[in-house]
Amino acid sequence: MSTIDVPNPLPSPKEDAEELRKAFEGWGTNEKSAIKILGRRTAVQRAEIRRTYAELYKESLLDRLHSELSGDFRKAMILWTMDPAERDAKLVHEALKKKGEKAIWVVIEVSCASTPDHLIAVRRIYRSLFFSSLEEDIASSSMYKEPLRRFLARLVSSYRYTDEYVMRELAKFEASLLHNAIKKNDLHDEDVLRIITTRNKSQLKATFLHYKQLTGKSIDEDIESHSSSQFANMMIRAIWCLAFPEKHFAEVIRYSIEGLGTDEDTLTRAIVCRAEIDMKIIKEEYKSAFKTTVTRDVIGDTSGDYKEILLTLVGSEEP
C-alpha cells in the first residue's frame, strides 16, 4: 500500500550519496534534488544511502540535512530519512513531554498501528536512545491519569499474535463482554482492557464485526454514545488504529489542516509515518469521508519545498 515511486532503474547508494553531496555544495542547497532522491526511496534504500554517505564524506546525512534545510521542510526530510523505528521512538519521546489528546494519539499510533515486530524495535531503540524503557516512562508519566496511564502502558507493552487465524466463538463471546461493559459505561473493566490490549488484529476485527451484529452499532459509535470522556475518546482511537488505521490517519490529516492555521507537525507525522504502509487506503478513506483529496488539501494548506516533499510522499492523486 506504499505510495513511494521508486525509479527504475534505481541508482546505486553511492550515486545517490554523490548526488546529495552535490545538492549541498555551492551557493544554496538544491532542495529539489534532495526531494527527488530521498522522497523516492524505501526505508531500506534510505538506510543504505545514509550509510554510504557517512562512509564517503565522514559526516552524518541527518546532520547535514539539519544544517542545510530549515523549518517544516527540514523536519519532514529528517523524519523521512530516519530509520522508521528510530523515528517512532523519538516521536513518542517528544509526545510524552506534552499535554493534550494529540500527544496521546502518537503513543496510540505507535502502539496499535504498528506491527508487533516494529513495536519491539521501537521499544529497543527507545531504551538505547533515552536510557529508560518506554513502558516505564508511560507508567510513571505525570501527564496521564489513571486509568488512561495503565491503558497506554499495556498497549505499548503488548506483543500481538500476527497470524490470520480467528476463533469465531471467542469473538462472539468477547463482543458480548464488551457490549455489557460499554452499556454500564465501564470501559476500564478488566475484560475490556485485556481484550483491547492483547488480542491480535484479525481476532479484534472479528469481535468488532460480531459487536455490530449484536447491537446494530459499531463499537466506536456505541462507546461515543455512552461517554465523552478522554479515556473513551482514546479507547476509540486505539480501536481505530488496531482495526481501521486508515480511518484514524485520514482524520489526523483532516484535523491538521482544518480551522485557522495548519498543524504542520501533525500533518508531517501522519504522511511521513504512513507513506510506506497504507497511504493509498488513507487517501481513499479521506476522499470518502471528506469529499475532497489529501492532495488538494495539502496544496491548499502548505507551500514551497515542504509542500513538495509531502506531495511526493502522498503519491499521485487527482487534486
Model confidence band, residue 319 (pLDDT cutoffs 50, 70, 90): low
Residue 237: its pLDDT value, please?
97
Q: Could you tell me where the beta strands, DSSP code E, fall in 3-104?
A: none
pLDDT per residue as tens digits for the range 27-53: 789 999 999 999 999 999 999 999 999
260 pLDDT exceeds 80? Answer: no
Q: Which domains does the chain have, with CATH numbers?
A: 13-69 (1.10.220.10), 84-157 (1.10.220.10), 168-243 (1.10.220.10), 246-314 (1.10.220.10)
Answer yes or no: is 24 a known binding residue: yes
Q: Is 315 annotated as a binding residue?
A: no
User: Residue 74 and residue 53: Cα distance in Å, rounded?
Assistant: 18
What pLDDT is attached to residue 213?
Answer: 96
| Averaged pLDDT score across all residues of the chain | 95
Q: What is the pLDDT of residue 79?
A: 98
312 is in an annotated binding site: no
In three-state form (DSSP H/G/I as H, E/B as E, the rest C), the secondary structure along 120-166 is HHHHHHHHHHHCCCHHHHHHCCCCCCCCHHHHHHHHHHCCCCCCCCC
What are the tens digits of pLDDT across the range 103-155?
Answer: 999 999 999 999 999 999 999 999 999 999 999 999 998 888 899 999 999 99
At 19, list the grid cell.
548526488
How does pLDDT run across 173-199, given as a tens digit for each residue?
999 999 999 999 999 999 999 999 999
Question: What is the pLDDT at residue 26?
Answer: 72
| pLDDT recorded at residue 163 | 81
Burial class (CB in 10 A: 0-12, 13-18, 19+), 318: exposed
Q: Are 234 and 106 in contact (CB under 8 A)?
A: no
pLDDT given at position 2: 84
**Residues 174, 195: contact at Cβ < 8 Å?**
yes
Residue 318 has pLDDT above 90, yes or no: no
- Give the pLDDT of residue 168: 96
pLDDT per position as a tens digit, 46-93: 999 999 999 999 999 999 999 999 999 999 999 999 999 999 999 999
Query: Which helix (H) or strand (E) segment is 168 a member of?
Result: helix 168-183
Whole-number Å distance between alpha carbons of 151 and 147: 6
User: Of 223, 225, 164, nearest to 196 (Cα)?
Assistant: 223
Q: Is 216 annotated as a binding residue?
A: no
**Annotated binding residue 261:** yes
Q: Span 6-29, mean pLDDT?
A: 93
Helix H or strand E encompassing 306: helix 304-314
pLDDT at 1: 74
